[in-house]
C-alpha cells in the first residue's frame, strides 16, 4: 500500500496501521491529487538514567516531607478545590 484515498481511510485503517508500523510512508489522495504524505512516527525513548535523575533531584533541594504532611497537603488541596463536602475529608 503506497497510496490511500480519503474514503479508504475509514475502510482500510487496519492495513494503514500495519504499513505505518513497518516504517513505510503512504501518500494520501483526495480527488485524484496527492494532498499529503502519511509518515510513521519514530519513537525513540531515552533510557531512564537513575544517577542523572538523582542529581536533578538533589539540585532542586526539595524539603523532606513526612507521609503525614503529604496527606495533610493533599487534603487541604482537595478541600480548597472541591469544598468541604467531600466524604472522608
Contact status, residue 38 vs residue 28, Cβ threshold 8 Å? yes
In three-state secondary structure terms, 28 is: strand
Any idea which residue has 466524604 for its cell?
87
Pull the grid cell for residue 10. Answer: 475509514
The reported pTM is 0.47
pLDDT tens, N- to C-terminus, the chain (89 residues): 689 999 998 999 999 999 999 989 999 999 999 999 999 988 888 899 999 999 999 999 988 899 999 999 999 999 999 888 766 65
Which of 35, 11, 41, 40 minimizes the C-alpha distance to 24? 40
Amino acid at each position: 500500500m503506497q497510496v490511500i484515498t480519503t474514503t479508504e481511510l475509514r475502510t482500510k485503517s487496519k492495513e494503514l496501521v500495519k504499513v505505518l508500523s513497518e516504517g513505510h510512508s503512504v501518500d494520501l489522495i483526495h480527488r485524484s491529487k496527492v494532498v499529503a504524505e502519511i509518515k510513521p512516527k519514530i519513537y525513540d525513548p531515552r533510557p531512564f538514567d537513575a544517577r542523572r535523575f538523582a542529581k536533578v533531584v538533589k539540585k532542586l533541594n526539595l524539603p523532606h516531607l513526612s507521609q503525614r504532611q503529604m496527606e495533610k497537603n493533599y487534603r487541604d488541596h482537595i478541600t480548597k478545590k472541591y469544598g468541604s463536602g467531600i466524604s472522608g475529608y
